[in-house]
Structures are given as structure tokens and as C-alpha cells.
């Protein structure tokens, strides 16, 4: 299955969930970033720091 991973801030996490669901037809998994990742990761929808990673896999590869 294709892996879809989206990073989102508090405001855009529901949009990310919607998009992962639409793109994969699978139930999305939402995980929170740890502090170090949070500081270096930007939301896919705005310039804010991302807080959540939404994907269609149990352990998304975050690098």
C-alpha cells in the first residue's frame, strides 16, 4: 500500500486526517511529534510548527 504522511499543526490536523482518508481509503493514524521533531517540522498547510503526523501506516518513517 502506498504510504501517505502529512504533518500538521493543531489547526490543520483535521484537514490532514481528511486528506489521508481520501487519498488512501484507509483509516488514518495520528501521532504526536516529540519536542525535537516538532521544532524542525513545519505544517504542510501553513508556516507554523507541526504537532501531529498523520499517516495510513502504524509506524510512519519520519526522517
Choices 20-28, 29-37, 38-46, 54-62 (CB under 5 A): range interacting with Zn ion? 38-46
Name the residue number minimizing CB distance to Zn ion.
43
Q: Which of 16, 43, 51, 54 binds Zn ion (CB under 5 A)?
A: 43
Cα–Cα distance, 41 to 23 (Å, whole number): 22
Phi-psi region of 18 (alpha: psi -120 to 50; beta: other; left: phi over 0): alpha
First to last CA, the chain: 20
Whichever of 42 and 59 has its CB closer to Zn ion, that residue is 42
Which residues bind to Zn ion, rule: CB under 5 A?
Answer: 9, 11-12, 43, 45-46, 48
Amino acid at each position: 500500500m502506498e504510504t501517505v504522511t502529512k504533518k500538521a499543526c493543531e489547526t490543520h490536523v483535521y484537514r490532514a486526517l481528511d486528506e489521508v482518508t481520501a487519498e488512501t481509503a484507509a483509516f488514518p493514524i495520528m501521532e504526536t511529534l516529540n519536542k525535537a521533531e516538532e521544532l524542525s517540522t513545519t505544517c504542510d498547510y501553513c508556516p507554523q510548527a507541526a504537532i501531529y503526523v498523520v499517516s495510513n501506516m502504524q509506524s510512519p518513517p519520519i526522517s
